[in-house]
Amino acid sequence: MNILPDFRTLRPATLDEAVKAMAAEGTMALGGGTDLLPNLRRGLGTPQTLVDLTAIAGFAELTVQADGSLRLGAGVTLEDLAEDKAVRAGWPALAQAAEYVAGPTHRASATLGGNLCQDTRCVFYNQSEWWRSGNNFCLKYQGDKCHVVVKSDRCYATYHGDVAPALMVLGAVAEIVGPKGRRSVPLAEMFREVGDKHLTLESGEVLAAVTVPPADGWRAAYFKVRVRDAIDFPLAGVAVALKRDGDTLSGLRVAITGTNSAPLMIPTEAVVGKVWSEENAEALVQAVRKVSNVLKTTVMGVKYRRRVLLAVARRLVDDLWTGK
């Protein structure tokens, strides 16, 4: 039987209290718990303390600010993000990505911060304790080698979040609070492509909020491929933001998820400033292929995931270019 390990919980009322609590050894942040608690039941982690962030004043606020930007507290639920009228009107790709996550009951509890900071996943990691022990564990937790790339000294577990790539192409900025004060970074800089250390948050730091600038002529969309049309994590996901000036592609941002150890931006300089053509579409597809690193971390085959990733990237740009 899978049971939770023993731990204590703290429920701070302010960010300062949360930061102080998170600085202690053996602590983990808790939002809705939809990702963390199932992992703990599988023996993936033995925290001494869970710091419940849901009582922090203003942590779940969703507001459109005077300059037209959207400020999202890290405690905003994915349900609110998917259904909010202002988000759906001004940043529909973000609402779309949030609505793709899991099922309705999950979204009612899951938080934006928890979704962004979710653990990476792998078929050799997300297993029961007895299964992992029978396979000598893995580099990500309690083992000394990666079963995906056996001779590697790094972990290749995959990031499968849906909301991060949508926010990245929308130009979102993360507000992080820690022992050294506050800092703001582009959301993409909150991640690194290492499976067991994919977040750049330092000890004691908490993701407090995310700010999304006004659309300002950008049109965006997110789409993911999964085994079932509900609940499942993406086998491959793509977010695209596009700006068109007549027959010129004046701006293009593309981000991928479900294939690498972090959500990643795709270089698009080679096609920006040009007409969207077959030649430039192929250039983008090759850029996506070069950045993606699809490995055997899910139950679905590598070739399929790579092919649908490239196809979805091309299709999303086609659709946004033609205004679909």
> Of 122, 67, 115, 49, which is closest to residue 297 (Cα–Cα)?
122
Count the Cβ atoms, other than its own, within 10 Å of residue 324: 9
Residue spans of the chain under pLDDT 70: 1
- Model pLDDT, residue 230: 82
- pLDDT reported for residue 3: 84
Q: Judge if 1-51 and 62-117+158-322 fold alike in CATH terms.
A: no
User: What pLDDT score was predicted for residue 225?
Assistant: 97
Cα separation of 63 and 14, whole Å?
Answer: 19
Write down the pLDDT at residue 1.
52
Q: Cβ neighbours of residue 256 under 8 Å, at least 6 residues apart? A: 165, 236, 237, 238, 239, 263, 264, 266, 288, 291, 292, 309, 313
Which sequence spans correspond to the domains of the chain? 1-51, 62-117+158-322
Tokens of 78: 């994915």
Q: In degrees rounded to 5, what are phi and psi of residue 291?
A: -80, -35
Alpha helices in the chain (DSSP H): 15-22, 36-41, 78-83, 85-90, 92-100, 104-109, 112-116, 129-134, 163-169, 278-291, 302-322
Query: Which backbone phi and psi does 46 adopt, to 5 degrees?
Result: -135, 70
Amino acid identity, position 244: R
24-59 per-position pLDDT tens digit: 999 999 999 999 999 999 999 999 999 999 999 999
Q: Considering the domain 62-117+158-322 in this protein, what is its CATH number?
A: 3.30.390.50
Q: Domain 1-51: give its CATH code.
A: 3.30.43.10
0.95 exceeded by pTM: yes
148-198: per-residue pLDDT in tens? 999 888 999 999 999 999 999 999 999 999 999 999 999 999 999 999 999
